[in-house]
Structures are given as C-alpha cells and as structure tokens.
Amino acid sequence: MKAPLSLAAVFDRLLAAYGAQSWWPADSAFEVMIGAVLTQNTAWVNVEKALGRLRETVAFEADAIVALAPDVLAAAIRPAGYFNVKARRLQAFCAWLQAQGGIEGLAGRPTAALRTDMLAVHGVGPETADDMLLYALERPVFVVDAYTRRAFSRLGRISGDESYEEIRALFEEELPARTDLFKEYHALIVTHGKEVCRPRPRCEACCLRHDCQHGMGG
C-alpha cells in the first residue's frame, strides 16, 4: 500500500482541482465572528439570510446586539436555525467581546490564552473559536470540521477517532504556520467535502483517488 500523501501534497492537489476559494465571505472581522456562531449546524446559505435580517434589525455592533431584546434577536436570526439557542450564544459572545474592549482589545493577546478565554464563552466550541481566530483575527490556527475528519480518514492520514485537538495539532505541526495557507486549506476541504468526498464519495471524480486508501478500495 502506498504511503499516505503529505498534507502539503493534498493541499496542492485540492488547490489545482478547485482553485482558490478565498474565504471567509464577510465584510468585517465582526461579521466573521457573528457568522461563526450562526453557522453552527446549518448551511451557509441560511447564515447569509440571517445576517441580512440581523443587519435590517440592529446596528452591526456588539453593544447593540447585547442590548437587543432576546426574542427580537431570535426572530432576526431565525433562518439560521436553533435561533433561540443562537440568540443566547450571540449575546454571550458579544458581551464577552465588549468586556475585552472589542476586537481591538484582542490584538496583541497571545493566541493560546485568547483561545482558552474564547472557549470559556457560552456557546463557543473549538471550531467556532478557531473560525474566529483564523478568519477574523488572522491567527495561525487550523480549523477542523466534519469534512476534514471524513476526507483525511479516508485518505489514511488519521483514523477518524482522534479528538478535535489532535487533528488540529497534526495540521499545525505538519504545515507552515501561515494564516493564508490555513484559510485556503480549510476552505478547500469544505469544497472537497461538499462536491466530491461526500458521505457517498464520488471517487471517480477525485483528484486524490490514486493516493487515497478509500478511493483505491482500501
């Protein structure tokens, strides 16, 4: 059996196959952060609708969102699903952000300590925190998601049973710590997972099929 591809080699193949994805689709770092909460357990198309309605309802600022009546906030973000839960999470996150002095107040804080603080905020799990750190705050933190776990276990790079932190460490240790690379890589994995390495994979159309344990029938 062939040795599994390096993470750098997988990146090169995905980039050649799909082209640059240039994520995250947002106008500001704050919008990235709000989107990272709203995108939990829902498709991005629903997040876009929720962001549009939220923008029509309230000024796009942490203090305005904190001050909004919870039921009004929940109604605004309804398209994102789990809207009562997400309204509570958004207000908790925005209150935390206010207490830090806003996004400017996060600048210069060491990434590991900042990540630990973010994970203590109600409703902020590892993927949400890492979305924010990478795409809003330009920190070299790799975002792991279900697409990552599925594709890289099929490729033979992981067993699939590893913890979030173990998979994140694998990517961060094997790749150069560059935010542009981490952003593009995560976006490419999402595209790959949606278009080709689906629950029922389209291996015949995959740029990795000759080096994939699953694709080769392994």
Nearer to ligand SF4, 35 or 215 (CB): 215
Nearer to ligand SF4, 9 or 64 (CB): 9
Q: The tokens of 12 are what?
A: 């090169």
Nearest distance in Å: CB 86, ligand SF4: 31
CA–CA distance, 140 with 137 (Å, rounded to integer): 9
Residue nearest to ligand SF4 (CB): 215
Nearer to ligand SF4, 126 or 156 (CB): 156
* Whether 171 contacts 144, CB under 8 Å: yes
Q: From the CB of residue 36, how many other CB atoms can be counted at a distance below 10 Å? A: 25
Nearest distance in Å: CB 181, ligand SF4: 20
Give residue 123's region: left, alpha or beta (phi > 0; psi -120 to 50). Answer: left
The candidate with the shortest Cα–Cα distance to 182, out of 55, 21, 70, is: 21
Nearer to ligand SF4, 9 or 59 (CB): 9
Residues lying near ligand SF4 in the complex (CB under 6 A): 151, 154-155, 196-197, 201-203, 206, 208-209, 212, 214-215
Nearest distance in Å: CB 188, ligand SF4: 12
